[in-house]
Structure 1
């Protein structure tokens, strides 16, 4: 997440307080804020379906491990970049987004080309914790994408072991969760520890945009060779334009660091 100047506001109304959805425009990008200068999402005006920010692209790295999910859920709508991308690129999948702030939902429809609900797309105004706790979600979701931040963007808005366990319970046996972890280094370690406690395996990308780290959590750890991942990355690049080779490079770097950490501990 980075800072840019804001210049327009969508205040909305309602008896509950929600941060204002605000917009700025620069270099052909329309940028979403929540009443502050923190970026909550962005869209290229001449290509509304493209995923612009690199960490948002990384939220799609589950594509290396699963080709045709039946149900994709986004917790935290942002500028609807992931929701639109999944809706347009996975025509056989059901796509659901859960967003607490009605102003965000409204501005995504008005300014970010979020399609109206139909038989495949559903946008729910509601609490992410309530959504994943529901027994109706158990073993129901193939892919869960989590990007939950308030207007201050200091740390994930929901970041407890109970939340991540509920997320894992929602997933099908081979389901996966990607989650954006942004904030102080101490908060990051707390987040990863909570995710580790709920999932069979967790990997993450190198930091981008100054402080964003995207983690990929598996309900059941996969067994795949890097050569196969690079082959899949080439296909993803050709079909979607996403720079998926960078994801595999990042995973190799993650593995190298893990090996170095183990070796360092053994020498103590």
Structure 2
């Protein structure tokens, strides 16, 4: 039986370059990751900026885990702008990891670790809990089924520290999209907020976890996370405002918080 590390079991992506951009593809029709050459650490796609919305709820995470590397957009942004955070990335496709230099992903250091492996298994077995878990593990066929099962979402919930948060990128056109949302609600005691990516429309970012469950309104103005410069924080402004509006609507419509489920 082959292991997740066997390169022959994984589709080899390709890189498309223009004068100003670099993109990671599994097929010419779908962009997996996108980088502006002049700003390699910037978040060029709106959904990635929306995933950084966890900062409204957890502005100083000590431990960030990511399932799916792609071109490393989120890993690079967090590594540069959240200097107090440790970042662990798990990517199942070794061919994707092999392209990290092309996308200017920094080398592993005391704060950044990128490993090859099965992300669902890693979340289940990780000995330490996370403050933030980012799931963006699409491959050539779309969303892997293993990253959308009830067990996976249960494991995600169990992996978070008190006040922790999950952010997951979902394709709204997936035939089981509503089922995936229902599974998330079951795993996170209904503390689930879906926010549509207004730039592309086909995707949404779902935030879930105890850090979301407070019925308090988010402040209208939030200071940048510790160590993040103003320009980086300002680059997130549109998506954070969109998320703040969605959270307020969700907060007002949500019934009183129920007691956690007991086994």
Shorter-chain TM range is 0.7 to 0.9
Structure 1 residue 198 corresponds to structure 2 residue 187: yes
Structure 1 residue 106 corresponds to structure 2 residue 106: no
User: How far 1:37 sits from its partner (Å)?
Assistant: 2.8
Q: Is the 8 A contact 1:148 1:157 kept in 2?
A: no
Q: Is the 8 A contact 1:20 1:35 kept in 2?
A: no
CA distance in 2, matches of 1:225, 1:245: 18
Q: Is the 8 A contact 1:148 1:156 kept in 2?
A: no
Q: Is the 8 A contact 1:29 1:42 kept in 2?
A: yes
Name 1:7's counterpart in structure 2. Answer: none
TM-score normalized by the length of structure 1: 0.82
Aligned residues: 245
User: How far 1:161 sits from its partner (Å)?
Assistant: 1.0
CA distance in 1, matches of 2:143, 2:117: 21
Return closer, same or farther for 1:250/1:93 CA change in 2, 3 Å cut-off: closer
CA distance in 2, matches of 1:116, 1:237: 22
Name 1:177's counterpart in structure 2. Answer: 166
User: How far 1:46 sits from its partner (Å)?
Assistant: 0.6
Q: Spell out the pairing of 1:4-23 with structure 2 (5 A cutoff).
A: 16-23=8-15
Q: Is the 8 A contact 1:180 1:212 kept in 2?
A: yes
TM-score normalized by the length of structure 2: 0.83
Per the alignment, in what secondary structure is the counterpart of residue 98 of structure 2? helix
Q: Spell out the pairing of 1:133-212 with structure 2 (5 A cutoff).
A: 133-134=124-125, 136-137=127-128, 140-153=129-142, 158-184=147-173, 186-200=175-189, 201-208=191-198, 209-212=200-203
User: How far 1:171 sits from its partner (Å)?
Assistant: 0.7
Residue by residue over 1:47-99, the C-alpha shift from the partner in whole angstroms, topping out at 9 and shown as x without a partner, is 11000000011110001111211000110111100011111111111100000
Structure 1 residue 248 corresponds to structure 2 residue 245: no
Q: Is the 8 A contact 2:7 2:94 kept in 1?
A: no
Name 1:123's counterpart in structure 2. Answer: 114
Name 1:64's counterpart in structure 2. Answer: 56
CA distance in 2, matches of 1:212, 1:46: 26
CA distance in 2, matches of 1:237, 1:89: 7
CA distance in 2, matches of 1:15, 1:77: 16
Q: Which has the higher contact order (CA 8 A, sep 6+)?
A: 2
Per the alignment, in what secondary structure is the counterpart of residue 63 of structure 1? helix
| Structure 1 stretches of 4+ moved >6 Å | 233-237, 257-262
User: How far 1:21 sits from its partner (Å)?
Assistant: 1.7
